[in-house]
Structure 1
């Protein structure tokens, strides 16, 4: 059956077909000639010969009788026929003289002394060719594939060549390259001389492309193809990181450790990549011959990152760098100690101190102290004592890094002390007072040079008292030569004495110096005034904060009261909505009086029994959250619905109406059932069954793998992951649920796929009863929102809803 008229093809039947010879038929989708069995070529002009067939005439009938009794069926619109040279219902009769081809339907009209062959048609004499030997000259030559050229493959660009001969020479569009997965490629370049050379370009070949590829060429003179094997190699990657063999402050010796690697070999190149670890710097590389590499001219005490890159022969043979490792060069040396202080401890000993050492890495640092008399030219006294990892000799101080393996790297710091005076220190002199006020004064002094002083002691008392009321102030840093005395009494004379102290003892007291403070100022009243001003400021700020807090609490209370009022009004509106009767045939509306309804009774959930988890849905005015609830002593999953703060009065009415509908509907397996409700801080929380598979609309969309995962769809020959039985099961579930609503005389008004939820065991359940009504006939009077795209005709025209309006 053909969809296009004769000699037309493509989806619009507007393209013209080529002229297909020997009863070939044009394919209406591809525009190519479908050749009868025993013929080939672009226009089916070339005959294969006795008992041969196939698109390149490479197939033969193996029986002694040849292709007798063979029936060949080709793609539509060709159908089925006998082989060339045979006809009849069982393809067992030879062609009559003068006829040839499949089913012997073609008649030979040979010119120029040509003879008729029942398999090939006209056999032309020398110098003539054509279907009926009507063309003078040399006959067309069938194509031959001379060679296929390609190089060893890595995961990179691939450029195979196909070389073919024939008359006429093949054109670019007549070459095809078929990958192992059936993908058809066209040539990117054609070079012609006495043959045609077609080059194909694959930008990135992968290991999955390994397999048998086919290069084919088809012209009017015939068709030929050649198979070749493609093997894609994977560049090598080291399995393990490099290792450290030896190190110094400016060099590292690295073991490449690349004996085991992933991917394919042989490895023709090995590079060591490295860079400083804590600086933004590009990788540097060095070629490695052997298993180790020494890197010189590195920076001391610096961490470097290393990795190894392997390569195999051919383009794209460079592999990814292997695992990384970090190594650090050694330190160049240690700095000398700072802040050396030498103090007299006794008549025969000195006390040497220095600033705390700067924290370093995990190096174990030893400190050695050596002593040598200035006027002694003999050898250094090497008496040693060890205390808490400190090596104390007796002269100069030096640092040693033990990681140098015997190559001691010393940094010396010397201090000289000349002890001319052994005994108690002299007293300070040149005592002065400055910046004296009514309660304080700055005292300064001078100490003799070249004396051993460990601290300064200041003592003072009120003048006229029998004894000094010593208030001693000890200053251990002897470089400080002044002190600020505070807490003195106004308009009072003090006697001040300053003494020096060392390990031997305290100096003789110096002559007392007098200090008189200034009279008391009137700042007291100002201070009291400042305190009153401060109290007033804090009091005013406190009252403001209290006022703002009270206003906030009042607004919050009013807001909560307003929400509760709106909720109550919504319940009232749902119950007091008028009922209207519809009389069939007359279209008369009659209002029925309705008695005051009983309050809605629903199962109550305690607020502490609800544990909220995730938000699973959100609209303009409402929100649905997944939660774990406790009902009748059992823990279960539930969906909690609630309204947002800015929801309108109509939204609250619909929400309250949904609770009332669920209470009256009761339980059914094909509707989302009510688990309970909870009112907390003026908000109503509605707990319904949880559907783990979401709504039916999204569930069906995800099943369309032809859109979401075309590769999976093609591989499995399917457009959907759902069977017809599953789809019918969903439809039956919805029908049972709607039948139950109809029995209960409820109108849903919003039955769409997004309001059908898929629960456990893939059971469809009807949900969202926000627009439902519990009357047999309902007439819409208010201005609420309605789903007009799927409303019934009577609902659109007259705002009338019945149980039939949902279907």
Structure 2
């Protein structure tokens, strides 16, 4: 039974009667679940619960016995805490109710200190001496000369960041002892010539934590953290892990065309000789003249789709009869992420300039266009090779035109010009009247700014996913109309997005090719999502159109643009709610996302709890495993492109028409592998990792913890995590080692995946790549092994843990 404080009662000590208007409100019997029955609150006894506990007793109804070293007078009658003497010999715990020795590996008055003995052996409760290991301490710990226990040592040594090669590395080393440690007690060293600078020192109790930065470190180089205290020294070593810069092992293809050269190459990691680490965020194209000793950048191409297999880049103009070399460098995320240049391809540009080619300049080649498909090959020169292709010129005699020929030529030219002028005039008139007719029907919308959460929206599960014309009339129309795709015409489309940054160019859609409906799929504090459609090629695709409310602030606009940029960085992936395009019209930005007709995964799982005649859920175990695999593939992609989700949960997984699960509501594109939340943006706590709850620190491994919670949601068909725990108590329970129990519907192997994701040390949690491999293996072997089962009706109590009031906090 819980011993609460003064005038506090309840199963979890959640009620307080002291502030009541009547002082007698605390004097009464309170009912507790069986087998406890009725009882007074802590500190009282008697028929009317108005008698203080006799000396030597405490707790509810004064039923517990004090066990204080200084006698009964030192015992608090409400809680049993012994002040200031502590517990009697052989007893421990806050209320001195735990009898016998401490559990193995613990010692001290309340059994709260770690022994730090070799092989986690037992130590003496009073002194902490490692009797179970004959005084031998665990690695990294030694006995202080002033105390015969293993309390002097290094608690933790880790890299705080994993940068690219050549960049500074940040380390954290924490140590403890029986007394206070000086800041210079902890030092770092390495086998090389790297220098370490202490940048921060934090002391908390007997723990000292120093932060260091170092430059000039290489991959796998050993770094040692040493503690010097009271003529004792201990040390521990770690191996530096850096991202290796990417390298394209194959020379690009070079194709000479009229007035330009097309440089084409395969995406990084397409060839088994490619090396380094991804993800690749862009490629930089270089050229070098035979008369120069250095490379010149011709331009770059950003990577928006990690699955894209090939790239090409057009360079013009070129100097005729000039020897060129071309090379490509891949660039990964983070500072200093550019890899070395690929092998070069060589080309001597044609001796005779092609017709209509601008005269050569002294500024070198410039970018004409970039695309994902190379032009038809004319001259291909893979490198390294010393051979070159030379296109020469030949001389022929051309007959001079006669005067009759000249007259005919002039007449034909005049006729052609007249016809062209008539066509242009007709096209302009058609466009003018068409737009004038549409402008009469469509009043202008007031401008709005701001917004966030681009990929999150709510929509009803609809049996009909068809795209009716009346469903997508322009906002502001009085009556439903058909699609009017005006963008397919003789004139260039009007984008009206001159205020958008250049990185949006690839994703812009003409206003004439976007339909915005009246139905609101969801809305937040300042964002709104409507149904709609966009014209993709010759097909009309259903879409969710995100825009901003009219009252959005400038800060909301900045957040909206940041989310938009993250979407373009993520690109398209089959398990991520992807962007279709964007359009700015009359100062309003519209962002089109994939339409997810089957809603979110949590709602789908809960709706699937309905049982049929055979007492089985409408879902299959195979589908549950597939949901988990879909989600982890999407998270692997987000991790690869450098995005931390921060709010991964079943409610933020959307389902398309084929029930393919796709990750949504990702909002943070990281520049580093760690993010510390400084704003007051509220994030639901029940899906957060220990480090996120305690310090508001988010890393990719924080998302792994949240994925473990999502696996638990799938196994319980959408139950509320920690449904028996208040949000304010969650951190302390997790720190004490509590983890949610195994659902009855899954086997030990599936539950072990959850436990791996919930490791206290983020470094011990698996990468998403490993989780993809494990869930893929589970999906392939379901015929031989049952990882998930659907409970019969008699056992469906495991499916009833739904607390709507706790769902989003």
- Report the TM-score when normalising by structure 2: 0.25
- Report the TM-score when normalising by structure 1: 0.25
Q: Which has the higher helix share?
A: 2
- Structure label with greater radius of gyration: 1
Q: Which has the higher strand share?
A: 1
